[in-house]
Each structure stands twice: as C-alpha cells, then as structure tokens.
Amino acid sequence: MEIVAFGVQRDERPILERAFAGRHQIRSLDVTLDRDTAPIAHGYEIVSAGVTADLGADVLQTLAAGGTRMIAQRATGFHRIDLRAAADLGMSVGRVSHYSPYAVAEFAWGLALAVNRRLLTAGHRTRTLDFRLDGLMGRDLRGRTAGVLGTGRIGEAFAEIAHGFGMRLLGWDRAANPRCAALGMAYVPKERLFAEADLITLHVPLVATTHHLVDAGALAAMKDDAILVNSGRGGLVDTAALLDTLTAGRLTGVALDVYEEEADSFSADTSPDVLGDDTLARLTAFPHVLVTSHQASFTEEAVGQIVEATVANVEDYLAHRTNANMLVTRGQLPAAAR
C-alpha cells in the first residue's frame, strides 16, 4: 500500500522512509495538510499528518470523499482534529501518545537560558563585531523559583533539571507526581504559582479548561521580572494579553516554541514574503522575546519514537486491531469521548 505523508521535514524524511521500508510505500510531502492541499490525498486510504495539519470537518470530508479511511497523525495533541466528524465519516484516527520527554524538557530549558542570558542578542552582536555587554546581564537561577504547570513526563524531566540548578520547585496539576514531590516540589494553586515563580514553564495539554491558561489575569499576577516559557501548545497563552504585558515593560524574558496561529507560518520558509501576521511580527520585535518554530520534539530520539508509533498505528489499522493511540477506530469514538 502507498501512504501519503504531509508536513514531512527534510531531516524527518529518511527516518520515516526507513521505518516504512519493506512494509509500505511512503510518499513524503513537505506541504502542510489543509483545505487547499487535501485533494492531493485523493486515492490514498491512509494519510499521515504533521503537527500543524488542519483536520477540521471540511478537510476530513474532502479526504473521505477521496477514499481516505485512516489518519495517522505524527504528533500528540489532537485539538486540530474534529474527532466527531471523523467518526461520522467512518474514519480511523491515530496519534502518538508519548515520545522522549527529555527532548521537550531540554529544549524548554534551552529557551529559558537563552532569554535569561540574552544569547540571541549576544549572538547577533558578535556577528557584527560588537562585543559590548550592555543590556546582556542575566540572573543566577540557583535559589530562584521554577513554576511547572503540568507535571507529567515532560514536566517531571524539566523539574529534574531545575532541581539540578538548585531551584525551589512549585507545581500545578490535577494530581501530584510522586517523583516531582520527591524533588521537593510543592503543589500549589496556579494563582500562587504565577505570583511566586521566577521561571514559569507550560507542559499541560491544550483542552477547553487549559485554553488561555496564561491569560491577562495570570500575566498580571506574575512578577515583573519573571520568565515565561511555552513549549506546549500555542493556545495555552493569550497572545493578545501577552503583547499588552510586554508593551507595558513587564517580564524579563519570554520564550515561545509554539504560537496560537502557528499553522499559518511555522514549518515553512516564508522569508521571501512580507509577514502577514501582525501579532507574530510584534512578538518577534521585542529583544527579550525568543520565538522558535515548534521544534522542541525535533530530536533523533523523539522523531524516531514518533515514527515507530505511527507505523504501529498503521499496521494495527490494517490488521483491524486497536491500541491506546487510536482516537477513533473505524467510526467509533472511545466511550469517554462520546
């Protein structure tokens, strides 16, 4: 069987093709799956989608009309998939429930250190032979407070690194993680976490109750010199409220690997064009804001695990089996989602 995969990055392609070798043919495309590109999938029973794919009802209808019966998403979050529409169309939808938590946690720490020590500005300066230290002063993190919202695998890995830095740990989640508690993490209401943390990092899924978790109220509660890192999902942060906060001269650093409207620009080279997203343009204009293009999970280990899970989802679909990664199985939603 030939499978078409959308949103395949150059470095991801050989990993994907090796994993499917001897099983199925894979047609790798670098374009994002959306309403404009969905017709390309005509005639393909199985479609693999990247993290920025638009899998709303209209796109799913186009895919189903062209013969697609299975979506194998190479990502964890499924907020951009209309699962009920997929079920109504009799489709199957699989995702990747987990992969290396260290990839994301380590990258989140890279972002935090970069904005704390002004590495982006320093690098730009030295390229132009400007070696002044003006405006590059950072802060020691030892003895300061790290606030971790979401203490699953990734939050735990982030907390372990913070513990190594000698930081005080505050956590917020539906349930305490014993391994985080063993590091000395105190679980507190999110309002207290926002007010006390010097470094705040987001590792919760994007669902209705976490949409705009960091809103105007949360931002107002933060210390003026706090650092905010989001390597989770763009919708966790109210970007308009964040811009207001930055314009008011608050927060010493913000690092975003994700962005609410990232599907319109991330994972593509838009450098020849005028950036049409005024919000993103304003964000990137602040010298103490670092925006990267959803690359936290882009390590050899994490991508390898994502691809392995994708292959397993495809094989289980073809064998009429189900697994924990299946969000919809041949038109059937799990009982909890109905």
Positions annotated as catalytic residues are 233, 262, 294
The per-residue DSSP string of 173-193 comes to -SS--HHHHHTTPEE--HHHH
Q: Write the DSSP string, 243-308.
A: HHHHHTT--SEEEES--TTGGGTTTS--TTS----HHHHHHHHSTTEEE--S-TT-SHHHHHHHHH
Cβ density class 148-187: b for 16+ within 10 Å, e for less: bbbbbbbbbbbbbbbbebebbbbbbbeeebeebeebebeb
CB-count exposure of residue 254 (10 Å: 0-12, 13-18, 19+)? buried
Half-sphere exposure of 116 (CA within 13 A, CB side): 18
Please give the Cα distance from 176 to 146 (Å, whole number): 16
321 token code pair: 């089996």
Q: What angle do CA 111, 173, 211 make, to 5 degrees?
A: 70
Residue (of 200, 159, 191, 199) closest to 176 by Cα position: 159
Transcribe 141-176 into DSSP letters: -TTSEEEEE--SHHHHHHHHHHHHTT-EEEEE-SS-
- Interatomic CA distance for residues 98 and 113, integer angstroms: 25
Report the alpha-carbon distance of residue 53 to residue 75 in Å, rounded: 10
